[in-house]
Amino acid sequence: MSRSVVYIIDSLEALDDSLQLNLLVAEMRRSGDWKTHVAVIAPASDSSNPLADLNVKIHRLIDRPRSAKSVTGVTAVLLAARALSRVLESVRPDVVHTWGLTAQRCMGASKMMMNQSRAPAPKWIGSFVRKPEKSGFVASALDRRICRQLEKVFVPHESLKQPTLETGFAEQQVVVVPNAAVALPVCKAVREEMREKLLARIGLTGQGVIVAGTVADLIPSTRVKDLIWATDLLNCIRDDFHFVIFGDGHQRENLERFAHFTEAASHVHFLLPEEAEGLMGALDVYWHSHLLHPLPSPLLSAMANAVPVISVYGDGTEEVILHQQTGLAVNFGARDEFARWTKFLIEKPDAARQLADQGKAHVWKQFPLEAMVAGYQSKL
């Protein structure tokens, strides 16, 4: 007899949460042992829904918000919680799995609303893929109450254990399950088509163009401004270099304005995050500038697609980036090092290809999808 699970996530457009959730949901669907539902607080449009082809029931808890900030507001959480309680009473799942702090609060509020409900209580587990945000007194008190009700919480790296414990979880509740690295097999013809599509999206054509890219939330802590600085530095000596930012967030307008006032204005391009999956394999170099997400999914995906990477060195990335073996490591905030090592990769294509191949082999071996799925399923 199959069991049912409801996943709750802030948004399908979230850059790290949804990448791992998509992988997990796909495997759960293939196993045939679970009826899978996904409740989304701020749903993506149908055209950008990464779960559209998996025959997974998507429950939209609130209308699409006008801004990212409105997703995390108290009113939005309460509205989503009311809708979620109706979903849970209808589905009656065996397991409820929250992804992210907002999803956790939504479930907590929904559970309080359902106290008088006759629906059986499901097993409740959670996941954090980034450091939990600091909250005010009232929110912190609510979070600690919610933490006592979760059976387990999954984090992708040891460095997230302490920040998670500080939100109110007990030691025995926190389980480390590393993220998975997965890339679809891409033949040469498909890669060339992908490259043409990428160049067309940023208004370029022809050969002889070097394109680096990053996937990031456009917020100050992801340090995207450092990468725009690096592009400006590199363009002083390489007019053929372009940088693509796959991301969205409240800092987008500020970053676009900043790029406009640099010499690299026409070489910095902003695309939506959902475009990254179909275009990442066409990049010449992948840049990673922050430590907000230990074992970041976009970095693992770039390496799995055999794209040479340059990344800051720190929690999580030190297990992925073995300097000059699987990638190139730079100091946090070192804009010039991104430019210098990119110049090296451009001028040494054989070294770049060897680095990319070694990086691909490393992440496929160290971060297999099977291990990630087994880690989650063992606790369901």
What does the domain layout of the chain look like in residue ranges?
3-176, 188-366
Q: What is the pTM of this model?
A: 0.88
Compute the Cα dihedral for 176, 173, 154, 311 and give only its sign: negative
Q: Are 3-176 and 188-366 in the same CATH fold?
A: yes
Three-state SS at 348: coil
Condensed to tens digits (0 to 9), the pLDDT of residues 170-229 reads 888 899 999 888 776 567 788 888 899 999 999 988 788 999 999 998 999 899 999 999
Q: Which of 108-112, 130-134, 176-180, 354-358 comes out lowest in average pLDDT?
A: 130-134
Three-state SS at 113: helix
* Beta bridge partners of residue 3, listed in sequence order: 34
Task: Report d(CA 69, CA 348) in Å as an integer.
Answer: 44
Beta strands of 90-134 (E only): which ranges? Answer: 95-99, 123-127
Condensed to tens digits (0 to 9), the pLDDT of residues 167-178 reads 888 888 899 999
The tokens describing 248, both together, are 């969205």
Q: Which of the listed ranges 35-39, 62-66, 117-121, 130-134 does the model predict with the highest average pLDDT?
A: 35-39
CATH number, domain 188-366: 3.40.50.2000
CATH 3.30.310.40 fits 3-176, yes or no: no
Predicted pLDDT of residue 66: 43
The dihedral region occupied by 295, where left means phi > 0, alpha psi between -120 and 50, and beta the remainder, is left
Average pLDDT over residues 241-266: 93
Q: Kindly list the distances between the CA atom of residue 144 and the CA atoms of 103, 105, 165, 167, 169, in Å, as whole numbers in the listed order.
A: 15, 10, 10, 6, 7
First to last CA, the chain: 15
Task: Report d(CA 13, CA 165) in Å as an integer.
Answer: 27
Q: How many CB atoms lie within 10 A of CB 220?
A: 14
Give the residue ranges of DSSP H helices in 92-219: 101-113, 137-147, 161-166, 188-201
Predicted pLDDT of residue 162: 86
* Residue 36 host element (H or E): strand 34-40
Closest CA to 311 of 319, 299, 302, 301: 299
